[in-house]
């Protein structure tokens, strides 16, 4: 990945759903954060130039504060590739097609979910085209998570975890059902496991880690994780 990122390009299939939303969202967040020198664009590998974003894309994007009403599709071009410092694609097939057509993008093309804060960073973001509202909503939430992580990266922020001690339900594996954790001299009782996911590579180059999004008895929500290699736990510092 380039050490200096000024020009970010989002790429999807038709440039009428996913990549325009990612572009608009990043532009909004860059403005909110006061980040300077960041330019954003989007394009499609199989775009029909001039085509409008879908009505549902416009509707759901508006719920996130992103206006897609004036967006028009454009095809990925040599000029856009040369302009970009970072190319973010939605699916593995996009990455493969892009590298085949533009070999010079090697080293600066990544799956958008590489920057995701929650869940796997190696899966794609499904295309909602032709589907119903719920599919668009889920897709755009997925993109929001990844773009928010990208903004943290661009602003120099990192996720900070601190060690904790965890108690789990008896009769369950330690990585299945945490029931409470101790942190900063206080015990937090877990009332609900909202979500859980696994991060790690099949080839062993990344540490295998289980993540849990939990609600505690004080009503707060935390992200805790377990490193399987060292059987150690940590909590994300809010």
Annotated catalytic residue within 41, 127, 199, 228: 127
Q: How far apart are CA 164 and CA 16, in angstroms?
A: 44
Q: Which of 104, 124, 102, 103 is nearest to 113 (CA)?
A: 124
41 is annotated as an active-site residue: no
127 is annotated as an active-site residue: yes
Annotated catalytic residue within 17, 18, 139, 225: 18
Q: Are 147 and 115 in contact (CB under 8 A)?
A: yes
Q: Are 83 and 89 in contact (CB under 8 A)?
A: no
Residues sharing a CB contact under 8 Å with residue 37, sequence separation 6 or more, in sequence order: 6
Q: How far apart are CA 25 and CA 140, in angstroms?
A: 10
End-to-end CA distance of the chain: 27
Other Cβ atoms within 10 Å of 78 Cβ, number? 10
Q: How far apart are CA 151 and CA 155, in angstroms?
A: 6
Annotated catalytic residue within 12, 17, 71, 139: 12
203 is annotated as an active-site residue: no
Which residues are marked as active site?
12, 18, 127
């Amino acid at each position: 990945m380039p050490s200096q990122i000024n020009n970010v390009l989002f790429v999807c299939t038709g440039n009428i759903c996913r990549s325009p939303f990612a572009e608009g969202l990043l532009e909004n967040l860059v403005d909110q954060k006061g980040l300077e020198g960041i330019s954003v664009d989007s394009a499609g590998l199989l775009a029909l130039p001039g085509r409008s974003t879908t009505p549902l894309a416009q509707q759901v994007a508006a719920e996130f504060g992103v206006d897609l009403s004036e967006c028009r599709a454009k095809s990925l071009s040599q000029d856009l590739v040369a302009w970009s410092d970072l190319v973010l694609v939605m699916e593995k097939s996009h990455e493969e097609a892009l590298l085949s057509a533009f070999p010079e993008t090697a080293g600066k093309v990544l799956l958008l979910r590489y920057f995701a804060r929650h869940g796997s960073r190696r899966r794609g973001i499904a295309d909602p085209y032709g589907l119903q509202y719920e599919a668009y909503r889920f897709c755009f939430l997925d993109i929001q998570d990844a773009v928010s992580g990208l903004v943290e990266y661009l602003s120099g922020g990192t996720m900070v975890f601190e060690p904790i001690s965890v108690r789990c339900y008896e009769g369950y594996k330690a990585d299945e059902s945490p029931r409470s954790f101790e942190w900063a001299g206080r015990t937090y009782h877990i009332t609900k496991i909202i979500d859980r996911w696994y991060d790690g590579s099949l080839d062993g180059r990344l540490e295998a880690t289980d993540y849990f999004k939990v609600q505690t008895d004080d009503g707060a929500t935390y992200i805790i994780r377990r490193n399987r290699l060292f059987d150690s736990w940590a909590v994300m510092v809010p």
